[in-house]
Structure 1
């Protein structure tokens, strides 16, 4: 499972594109009146739905490695594989709904207005899921501080803004709460508040809190953030 989820995290964009292609093909073939075509299409749709739903549930509950990965000159949490799987599931489901709605509109059905509204809602929902997977969201540790970028806003905390003794603590299995000594140094964008905990994503929340504490208490290592040697040291210390 770890190998599968790691591959999903690393290849999230190609997986999303493949899911979109499957959604288009299944949606078009699903509108066929040929029973010999419709049954295999329905079987493929049902099978993909069960597989993606099962994997996404397992990923949400089980995939939280105590490790970060390199991203440029920063250490970042793994892209969430559950988000990739859920987005793929929505694409597969939405492909049928959109294809059916477009067919009703083209055929001039009496409720074509309802179909048009359904297509618009589905398209908006699919765009949201696409954006959540295509972009890189989550916590990143940089030489100058912690950057938490989410879909609705971002938070940047310079290292000097944290309380030295307990800068970050795990708040549940997926959240990390920050404690500030100098909250005026924190920079916020979008819908973010000072007391809003950061989402650890697919990384273990306790490990992430320990990593932040390490750099707050030992500033001499901050300049090495983004190097393989420092990532190995941090993993050994915070793991």
Structure 2
């Protein structure tokens, strides 16, 4: 049930975020111009925020072992996650109360001038959360390499850098996939990405993503076909074989041992978490 709701949320996230922004604007106006109405709205909005936070926590457990093929991007994209949408929505409500209080203080000429400055970091954080939820950022496998986008920047990893992905031991659902590089000087940072040595896995099965990256590092002849339906079917068939998985892990482990600076990869099998 949570999976079905999350899929619908991701599919209609733009409309949902717009409705959430309209609701936040209405609440801010109520706090500023009609405090009595805002008081009546407090408990219903509090219950809605609680529901959104609960859905964000529950949807974090959904890590599908699949990619998405988008016509506008030549590559394999990790599916967008639902939890950033719920998190952004839950933050819009307290932000609306804060902005409404500032508007009311300004109308009554009772505004302490440093207060907007103190409140601006919260406004920036919520704006970044909304941008992340709107765009649905995630890792992308492209013919030229791996790309991870964030609200403030991107991490570009060409295949020539020979990325080595590994999982933290005894971690069931890691939020990130750690990376090492045979040629780190080839990795580029555009803007302000969160990390140079990690990919987000809060929206995809980390073992599946690690195996896919390792496959294209080991098989450069298949890279040019990334983004096509035929190559996606071939990749899934390749990764579904236990021999192919074991070989990919063994190669990754050998390279980590040679590098001497990367922990040993996890040997948990690739699992299918469902289509989300």
Normalization by structure 1: what TM-score?
A: 0.85
Distance 1:180 1:120 in 2: 38
Q: What is the match of residue 107 of structure 1?
A: 108
Q: What is the match of residue 14 of structure 1?
A: 15
Retained in 2: the 8 A contact 1:78–1:201?
A: no
Q: Classify 1:186/1:33 alpha carbon distance in 2 versus 1 (closer, same or farther; 3 Å).
A: closer
Retained in 2: the 8 A contact 1:79–1:201?
A: no
Q: What is the match of residue 66 of structure 1?
A: 65
Retained in 2: the 8 A contact 1:175–1:197?
A: yes
Structure 1 residues 132-171: aligned runs within 5 Å:
132-162=132-162, 167-171=164-168
Distance 1:218 1:197 in 2: 22
What are the Cα deviations for residues 206-239 of structure 1, in whole angstroms up to 9, with x where unaligned? 1100111111222232222112232233334435
User: Post-superposition shift, 1:68?
Assistant: 1.3
Superposition RMSD in Å? 2.4
User: Post-superposition shift, 1:118?
Assistant: 5.0
Distance 1:193 1:57 in 2: 22
Retained in 2: the 8 A contact 1:105–1:116?
A: no
Moved more, 127-136 or 40-49: 127-136
Q: Classify 1:127/1:170 alpha carbon distance in 2 versus 1 (closer, same or farther; 3 Å).
A: same
Q: Classify 1:112/1:187 alpha carbon distance in 2 versus 1 (closer, same or farther; 3 Å).
A: closer
Distance 2:64 2:180 in 1: 24
Retained in 2: the 8 A contact 1:26–1:95?
A: yes
User: Post-superposition shift, 1:131?
Assistant: 2.4
Distance 1:233 1:226 in 2: 12
Distance 1:184 1:115 in 2: 44
Q: What is the match of residue 23 of structure 1?
A: 24
Mark the runs of 5 or more structure 2 residues left unpaired by the alignment. 240-269, 271-276
Normalization by structure 2: what TM-score?
A: 0.74
Q: Secondary structure at the match of 1:97?
A: helix
> Is 1:220 aligned with 2:221?
yes
User: Post-superposition shift, 1:192?
Assistant: 5.5
Q: Classify 1:213/1:85 alpha carbon distance in 2 versus 1 (closer, same or farther; 3 Å).
A: same
Q: Classify 1:181/1:33 alpha carbon distance in 2 versus 1 (closer, same or farther; 3 Å).
A: closer
Distance 1:75 1:28 in 2: 43
Q: Classify 1:187/1:195 alpha carbon distance in 2 versus 1 (closer, same or farther; 3 Å).
A: closer
Retained in 1: the 8 A contact 2:150–2:194?
A: no
Mark the runs of 5 or more structure 1 residues left unpaired by the alignment. none
Distance 1:96 1:192 in 2: 31
